[in-house]
């Protein structure tokens, strides 16, 4: 199916930031008083939902904004080292040229998103809704729908986490699961997805 509006998650969907996330995880854990992880087991953690991962390391929900702020600050200092996934840039250009309206809905900061995208690709994005909790994306997605004037059934949110699927379901937007992100495709299928994208080039068929 073709869509008129494509909303994108950022980390693990557009940007290959998982290696950076792992590299700073234990530093942030020490700073905020939750458990370290064995980064050699990163593949196993991809099967965990966000809530399960928080429980695993003993991270209470009230600390999440503080942890997110630390992560975003460290990413700001290292944005130049974080690449987009191969093919993402071409796909965004293709969709924009085809008349698909683009938006980014991410728990990361707009500054970080723009830095990693670069001026050209950021210029293709009609709306940025950034800096919310990973559990608070639905309201921001509604804001994008309202601003665009496009109905929910003509929109898709592309992401890589179970919380992305939850937000999509709450807003009536189709959820497109990527195979290359933080969570495994099996866990995203369990969360419920209308579309799957095996490679970034597959994003072309959104439009």
The pLDDT, as a whole number, for residue 45 is: 85
Reading phi first (left if > 0) and then psi (alpha if -120 to 50, else beta), residue 83 is in: beta
Q: Residue 21 in contact with residue 39, Cβ under 8 Å? A: no
Task: Please state the rounded mean pLDDT for residues 2-13.
Answer: 97
pLDDT at 39: 87
Answer for the pair 13, 188: CB distance below 8 angstroms, yes or no.
no
* Mean pLDDT within 50-74: 92
What is the average per-residue pLDDT within 86-92?
98
Q: What are phi and psi of 206, to 5 degrees?
A: -60, -40
**CATH fold group of domain 5-16+83-206:** Rossmann fold (3.40.50)
- The beta strands (E) that lie in 63-136 are given as 101-106, 127-130
d(C-alpha 194, C-alpha 83), whole Å: 27
Distances in Å between the alpha carbon of 135 and those of 27, 74, 167?
23, 21, 8
Nearest to 96 by CA among 117, 81, 80, 110: 117
Which stretches of 93-203 are assigned E, i.e. beta strand?
101-106, 127-130, 155-159, 174-178, 195-197
0.95 exceeded by pTM = no
pLDDT at 49: 85
* Chain CA centroid to CA 118, Å: 17
pLDDT band at 58 (very low <50, low <70, confident <90, very high): very high
Tokens at 114, concatenated: 């723009």
**Mean residue pLDDT across the chain:** 95
The confidence score (pLDDT) of residue 176 equals 98
Q: What is the pLDDT of residues 155-169, one digit of tens each?
A: 999 999 999 999 999
- Give the pLDDT mean for 201-206: 97
Domain spans of the chain? 5-16+83-206, 18-81
- What is the tens place of the pLDDT at every residue in 93-130? 999 999 999 999 999 999 999 999 999 999 999 999 99
Rg (CA), the chain: 16
1 vs 172, higher pLDDT: 172
Residue 1 reports pLDDT greater than 80: no
Mention every residue, 6+ apart, whose C-beta is less than 8 A from residue 2. Answer: 205, 206, 207
What crossing angle do the helices spanning 64-78 and 110-122 adopt, rounded to 10°?
40
- Quick one: pLDDT band at residue 46, thresholds 50, 70, 90? confident
């Amino acid at each position: 199916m073709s869509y008129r509006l494509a909303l994108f998650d950022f980390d693990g969907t557009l940007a290959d930031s998982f290696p950076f996330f792992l590299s700073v995880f234990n530093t942030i854990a020490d700073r905020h008083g939750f458990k370290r992880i064995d980064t050699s087991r990163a593949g196993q953690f991809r099967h965990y939902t966000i809530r399960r991962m928080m429980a695993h390391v003993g991270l209470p929900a009230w600390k999440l904004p503080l942890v997110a702020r630390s992560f975003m600050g460290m990413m700001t200092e290292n944005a130049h080292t974080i690449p987009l996934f191969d093919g993402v840039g071409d796909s965004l250009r293709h969709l924009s040229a085809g008349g698909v309206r683009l938006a980014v809905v991410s728990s990361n900061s707009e500054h970080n998103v723009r830095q990693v995208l670069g001026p050209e690709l950021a210029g293709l994005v009609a709306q940025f809704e950034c800096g919310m909790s990973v559990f608070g994306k639905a309201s921001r997605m509604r804001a994008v729908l309202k601003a665009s004037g496009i109905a929910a059934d003509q929109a898709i949110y592309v992401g890589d986490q179970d919380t992305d699927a939850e937000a999509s379901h709450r807003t009536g937007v189709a959820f497109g699961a990527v195979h290359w992100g933080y969570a495994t495709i099996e866990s995203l299928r369990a969360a419920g997805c209308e579309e799957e994208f095996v490679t970034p080039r597959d994003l072309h068929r959104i439009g």
